[in-house]
Amino acid sequence: MKKVNILFLTVLGMSGLGLGINNAISKSDNVLPEQKNDAIMNAQTIHPSTEQKKSEHDRSYNFDASSALPSSSTFQQQPDNGKILGFDFYRDALNAKKPMQTFEETMKSDMAQRPEISKTQHKLLLSRYDLTPRFDPEVTMTRGKPLAVGPTAILKNKMSWQKLADMSPEEIRNNNLFPYPALPHPKQVTGGQVFPPMQISMFPRLERFDVEFDLPEAFLPEFPPAIFLQNRPELGDVSRGEVVSINNFYRLFKDILTPVQLTGLQMLLTPLPQEEFNPTDDRKSAQPSLGVTCFDCHVNGHTTGQFHLSPDMRPQERRVRLDTTSLRGVYSQQIHGSKRSLRSIEDFTEFEFRTAYFNGDPIHAMKKGFPMIDRIHVSHMAQFQNMLDFPPTQKLDNNGRLNHSKATEKEIRGENIFFGKGQCANCHQPPAFLDNQMHDLKLERFLNEPGDGPMKTFTLRGIKDSPPYLHDGRLLTLEDTVEFFNLVLQLKLTDEEKSDLVAYMKQL
């Protein structure tokens, strides 16, 4: 009897507590009467704070996607002004504006637009650059390709480089004189990976019917690139003049790599579905395919200047063009990805095939054949990538400094500028010539366009093998790169100092 009374009083007490809660809930304007007994709804009820007030910034256009400033002002000449029109969270595979459009209709429409898109991009490039290649008479890339020299940028109003460098950022911006604005994707509204002609001629499956590569081959890395392995430095270039593929990797590396490293390389050479290259009807290749491989983009662990759009930015017209970077020396890097700052090569590898292949959209990845690669294989892929080394250099010592007994006076002067007036070593610290940090150049000071925000420091080791430069390839030569930073950092370098600095960087 005593136990029953205790139980009764306990239930009665709980009922009273429940009544108290219900009374409190019923007083809330945020809860409907039929929801007052819903514990989940009650837990999510927001009680506005008097401390939380919206500022003018909070109410500004900055957070209206339709008012976002595009990454380039040239999109006005591109289809749909570079914007995706309609619902963008999951882009309809058969075209958002014409849901019943077939693949054949899409391809026909895209092919009809392609000549005009290419013409528009070429016209843009000619307005910015002198695309007539001039070559260094002495220095070549590792396997002998001539090295294009510049600067290639065309200055407006008969401006000289020295006169431009004497102007303030505000003067340059107000007069629209900055020679290196963002380089846009030829078809921003679609974006996606675009491969250069010399690679497509070897692998036709990489050709798109809607857009073509825009930069001349003279300003691209050599093809195929050399391969250097940090576990077998005595072998030098182990590519043997071939593009490593699923067909030849075992023959080339069976006596050089461990079984784990071979497995990792095999995975890096295995095609996986990608946004534009896959079997589905929204692909941009004429024929269905298994996709692209990691080493289609990072050919021989390096690059041929392929480009795409940053997967982690929205809206579409705000996304920036990204030039494929080299994997040489990734063992020296602590952050990976131009803007994503991934903290291990394993995370970067896994992120790439899970979402970056699909512009950060996991729904598309699932639809087109979402690959599930276990972490063991990811670690094997990472282990091979960590084997990739920088090309050997004849004039640097073990600390990454010039051996003066082998260097010319011009190169020695260039090194002094690099570590002094040029401020290059503030970010590009030897021996790997990077600082594993991200930096914001705040280019909006010079442009009537938004800046890019923080970008990671890229290594300068073997830099002559990796044109074009900067994250989007807007700097076609090392000379352009020096002119760019002379303006952005307001260094006031003389013509001779700039020439010396380029001579030094060619030896890194």
Query: Which secondary-structure segment (H or E) carries 148?
Result: strand 146-149
Mean pLDDT of 483-503: 97
Instruction: Report the mean per-residue pLDDT for the chain.
Output: 86
Q: Let me know if residue 151 belongs to a domain.
A: no
The answer to which of 58-62, 167-171, 323-327 has the lowest mean pLDDT is 58-62
pLDDT, tens only, 464-492: 999 999 999 999 999 999 999 999 999 99
pLDDT, tens only, 361-370: 777 777 787 7
Token duo for residue 203: 């692998």
Cβ atoms within 10 Å, residue 42: 17
When comparing pLDDT for 421 and 5, which is higher?
421
Q: Let me know if residue 394 belongs to a domain.
A: no
Q: Let me know if residue 123 belongs to a domain.
A: yes
* One-letter amino acid of 370: F
Q: So what's the pLDDT on residue 123?
A: 97
Q: So what's the pLDDT on residue 212?
A: 96
Q: So what's the pLDDT on residue 51?
A: 63
Q: How far apart are the C-alpha atoms of 97 and 101, rounded to whole Å?
A: 9
Residue tagged 């306990």 (tokens): 10
Q: So what's the pLDDT on residue 82?
A: 82
Q: How far apart are the C-alpha atoms of 456 and 462, rounded to whole Å?
A: 17
pLDDT, tens only, 368-387: 877 778 888 999 999 999 99
Q: Let me know if residue 438 belongs to a domain.
A: no
Q: Let me know if residue 265 belongs to a domain.
A: yes
β-partners of residue 140 are 146
Token duo for residue 423: 């401020």
Torsional class of 195: left (φ above 0), alpha (ψ -120 to 50), beta (otherwise):
beta
Q: How far apart are the C-alpha atoms of 320 and 308, rounded to whole Å?
A: 9
Q: Let me know if residue 223 belongs to a domain.
A: yes
Q: Quick one: CA torsion of 369, 83, 322, 356, rounded to 10 degrees?
A: -20
The answer to which of 84-88, 129-133, 437-441 has the lowest mean pLDDT is 84-88
Whole-angstrom CA distances from 48 to 20, 25, 28, 32, 41 are: 21, 15, 11, 17, 16
Q: pTM for this structure? A: 0.83
Whole-angstrom CA distances from 236 to 60, 84, 139 are: 57, 47, 19
Q: How far apart are the C-alpha atoms of 457 and 134, rounded to whole Å?
A: 28
Mean pLDDT of 14-30: 40
Q: 334-352: b or e for each residue (b if 16 or more CB lie within 10 Å)?
A: ebbbbbbebeebbebbbbb
Q: How far apart are the C-alpha atoms of 281 and 272, rounded to whole Å?
A: 16
Residues 183 and 160: beta-carbon distance below 8 Å: no
- CA-derived radius of gyration, the chain: 28
Residues 466 and 474: beta-carbon distance below 8 Å: no
Residues 6+ apart with CB under 8 A from 483: 150, 151, 153, 161, 179, 180, 498
Residues 186 and 210: beta-carbon distance below 8 Å: no
Q: How far apart are the C-alpha atoms of 16 and 58, rounded to whole Å?
A: 44
Of 333, 386, 375, 331, nearest to 353 by C-alpha is 375
Q: Let me know if residue 504 belongs to a domain.
A: no
| Crossing angle (nearest 10°) for helices 259-268 and 375-385 | 100
Q: Is the pLDDT of residue 15 over 50?
A: no
pLDDT class of 95 with cuts at 50, 70, 90: very low
Percent with pLDDT over 70 in the chain:
86
Q: Let me know if residue 284 belongs to a domain.
A: yes
Cβ atoms within 10 Å, residue 243: 18
The answer to which of 90-104, 255-269, 299-313 has the lowest mean pLDDT is 90-104
Parent domain of 288 = 114-136+186-387
pLDDT, tens only, 53-86: 777 776 776 667 777 788 888 888 888 888 776 5
Degrees, nearest 5: CA angle 363-366-372: 130
Largest CA distance in the chain: 106
The number of distinct structural domains making up the chain is: 1
Q: Running DSSP on this structure, what letter comes out for residue 239?
A: S
Q: So what's the pLDDT on residue 20?
A: 40
The answer to which of 249-263, 320-334, 360-374, 414-428 has the lowest mean pLDDT is 360-374
Residue tagged 């602590």 (tokens): 334
